[in-house]
Amino acid sequence: MANTTKLLFGIHMHQPVDNFDWVIKHGVEVCYGPFFEVMSKYPEFRFSVHCSGWLMEQIQEFHPKLYKQIMTLAKKGSIELFSAGYYEPILSVIPSEDRVTQINMLNDSIVSDFKQTPKGLWLTERVWESSLIPDLNCAGVKYTVMDDYHFQCAGFDEEILDGYYMSEESGKEIGLFPISKKLRYAIPFLNVDSAIKAIKSFNREEDSAAIIFDDAEKFGMWPGTHEWVYEKGWLESFVQAVLADEVIETMHYGEYYEQERTRGIAYLPNVSYYEMGEWSLRADDALKLEAFKQEMGHDRYEKEGVKFLKGGIWKNFFVKYEESNRIHKRMMELSKARESVDDHDFDTALYKSQTNDALWHGVFGGLYLPNLRDNAYRYMIECENVRYGKKNLLLRDQNELDGYDKVKAVTAKHIFRFDGAHGGQLVEFDSRKACFNWQNTLTRRKEAYHQRLLEDQPAQEVPAAEDSIDTIHHAEVEINDTLHDAIIYDWYLKNSFVDHISDENFNGGNFRHCNFHEFGDFSNQPFDVFVDKKSVLFSRDGGLYLPQKVPTKMDKRYIPHNHGFDFEISLSTQAVGTFKYVLEHNFHFCDYESIVINGDPLLDQGSVLCTDTLEIYDAELNQNIVITLDQTCDIHYFQLKTLSQSEDGFDLSVQGISFAMVIPFSKNISIMGRLEVKDV
């Protein structure tokens, strides 16, 4: 008689905090609703569910039928509910105290609403560090789930990963369940017979478990899956086939953990799933990794190479993307500040800001989606409003750990942050009333997947729909000239008050394509910082390169006031010739279709000649951002767009508007001006 295979089947449901209402509604219509509609017919099928606290709030308030179905299945004992951080943070990148608090928040919610005390934890994005164990233990977590890849990175063979292992940190214990890659790529993508066969392959011993815990969104929200899973009946046929099979027994993780012995001990490295490690690498390294993998060959990689050929760690995203690091370190600053701020609203806003989605990018938009970054800043600014009240302050810090000072200017209406590491530039420009950061732009960078467009790689054949469907990692997309032409890379960060020294050839075209001639070293180099009670001075002894370095000094002073700040910029050089000084700004908005530039509607690119004023009307916030100079300039601008990968293929997103204020000079230049925000 064949061994019985224990099927530990789990799904996790998550949407970014404050994601668009239509996205949640769409998710319920095509995925969450149909899934639980099917599962409600088969209460004898035992499975596990994790739903982030925020998403469950939305389901409870706006989708009561779905909420009732989940509640009913939980009461019948069909569902085992898993915990995690309430607002779905990646636990390893938030402070220890916040980890425990967020897990306990979701624990309490599950106990209150579903009358279960969760013992299992969904490890968000499967980002594992052993330092989590004491905090998970403190929150009452007995076991968690992660990919079999995590275990293979520690030297385990795939064929023995059919149960749970125990681990510890500082004597605190936890059970670790390895999710099968074979099953992740089979369910729901292969036909039902093939999926059942994959499950039954886990029958090495009587207590062998087939372990899967994966995105609920694969069951309806990923491209092509709604038709496959529901219209063609995959899910219902799958559930029926599992229940009818005498070899397969559905079981909760908690039951298996209590009834079966551990497979042994495991100490796992700092790792997430393979694709995440690949995405966290810089583009050139990701391409090299893929080349090594291809050279090794698929079969050899799957059998041997998976143990040794690895990408980066999740925290590399903070190294790869300055904008991600900036959000993360601002959140960490606010978490530290909580010690001196005793306020429930502050705490709630802080925890919401810790949602993981805006911090990374892979096959999902993540960091490249402006609305997700907007949401992170919204809650951080809410924290700042509670923290500072009506105070006016100039503060120096090194929170971003790069060794260079940042300066924060807090006024009644705005918060400005300037960065000594990057040209004394403006890196945060907050409306405290609107809780919106106009400086929330994104630099155009090389990504590994751009190579497909640059090389015009043809589409590959895909399996027939009757037999299987593609996973999101293998789906092919149409390549067109619009996407190809959008691949432009910036060699400096797209902040504001960026200083360029160029020549008479500078124009709107080479500004947009970032291939203008740069003589100076002020656009992406550090400045010294000097702060007094009323102003901050950034200074650099740099040079112009003609091609030899000619000593050149630049000073930039900012003087904050209630409606913005005054600024003074001076440059003196020993270089001989006529140059163009370019003062660049990059501003981000909610609705670009309603933006007005110096009285005219925003174009894809444009110019305003011989003026001393740049006036930007933000209709969404009903504010005018006005920059005035004490001399005339020519202004060139373009919509800053990035080309990024998403679950639907490629996205062309507007990340901001880039402005170049151009002034001819020779020998020296001195500019005085004002940035002011005016109510309309």
Catalytic residues: 125, 215
| Bridge partners, 468 (sequence order) | 190
Helix, strand or coil, per DSSP, at residue 240: helix
Which residues, at least 6 apart from 244, have a Cβ–Cβ distance to it below 8 Å? none
Residue 604 tokens, joined: 């894809």
Ordered DSSP codes for 408-471: EEE-SSEEEEEETTTTTEEEEEEETTTTEETT--------TTHHHHHTTPPPPP---TTTB---
Element (H, E) at 673: strand 668-679
User: What value, to the nearest 5°, has the Cα angle with vertex 504 and ends 502 and 506?
Assistant: 60
Q: In degrees rounded to 5, what are phi and psi of residue 416?
A: -120, 140
Residue 657 and residue 676: Cα distance in Å, rounded? 18
The helix (run of H) or strand (run of E) holding residue 179 is strand 172-179
Instruction: Kindly write down the DSSP assignment for every residue of 565-628, as one continuous string.
Output: EEEEEEEEE---S-EEEEEEEEE--S-GGG-EETTEE--SEEEEEEEEEEEEEETTTTEEEEEE
Residue 236: C-alpha distances to residues 153, 245, 250, 475, 620 (Å): 35, 14, 15, 24, 46
Name residue, tokens 């799958």: 238
The strand order across the sheet containing 172-179 reads 120-122, 143-147, 172-179, 165-169
Going 601 to 602 to 605 to 611, the CA torsion angle's sign is positive
The residue among 227, 256, 248 whose CA lies nearest residue 45 is 248
Specify whether the CB–CB gap between 103 and 141 falls below 8 A.
yes
Residue 364 tokens read as 């999902």
Secondary structure class of 493 (helix, strand, coil): coil
Q: State residue 570 phi and psi, 5-degree precision.
A: -135, 140
Task: Check if the beta carbon of residue 129 is closer than 8 Å to that of residue 267.
Answer: no
DSSP letter for 2, please: P
For residue 248, the SS3 value is strand
How many CA atoms within 13 Å lie on the side-chain side of 116? 24
Which candidate, 36, 47, 44, places its Cα nearest to that of 69? 36
What is the residue whose two structure tokens read 């006024």?
A: 411
